[in-house]
Chain A
């Protein structure tokens, strides 16, 4: 399954998670952060892809999609707890290894560190934590040379 097809399935699955919807989940659209529709967002972007030859004539690409989970900074106490809770909500995708659409064996490869995203004049505006989702695409080839 290609990256674009896989990301589209992942997007739909993420939008169905608790506390998320089409309002605050988008693909590569960081303008959402300024629109004030929510205080937390999940924004998808392509990660590294690694093709590996798995048989004598077949390669497998491990596609990665980085899901950036953003939480607007409000105060020191509730903001981190909210972020960690929303990340936990998104882990529900682990129960859908095919993402409802034939994706093969998807899983979460890594949940990154929580980071503070600073404003230009100092002070955090957002907290962010990345979830890296992986799936694989097998392609059989006939060598031309």
Chain B
């Protein structure tokens, strides 16, 4: 997220973000990733997401290789009203009502579930009260306008800050839970 609350430029560009992570932030992200066994994806984001990580794991020398393996190996669920079958590895489709599909997944046994985007998809999840934890990485940039994830929220909602951790590379992670 930018300092001014956006998750992408209006075009979806992430060129304003900072990627030279330090050990502490890499550990945070690895721990978070290891705590989940399922990744939810909005339809629009899926192609880019999967091709990025498939590319990263082509070469074991790629610094993104280890994380890429996790992204490719973990079961993924793509939400789409229009697709008939999944074109991607380790990926199934959720084609029914959003709340029904996500509730079904949450009721299963297993580790936690993570969603990274896209903005429209995450907005729907938030609007329908389906999110239990927010890990918002605040990047050191002001972008003026762009994609939002809280636009569907009806009125003021308080959250509980669980922790806020600044990292040396300038990003701060703010971890929140919805307040009961």
Please indicate whether A and B come from the same complex rather than being unrelated chains: no
A positions within 8 Å CB-CB of B: none
B positions within 8 Å CB-CB of A: none
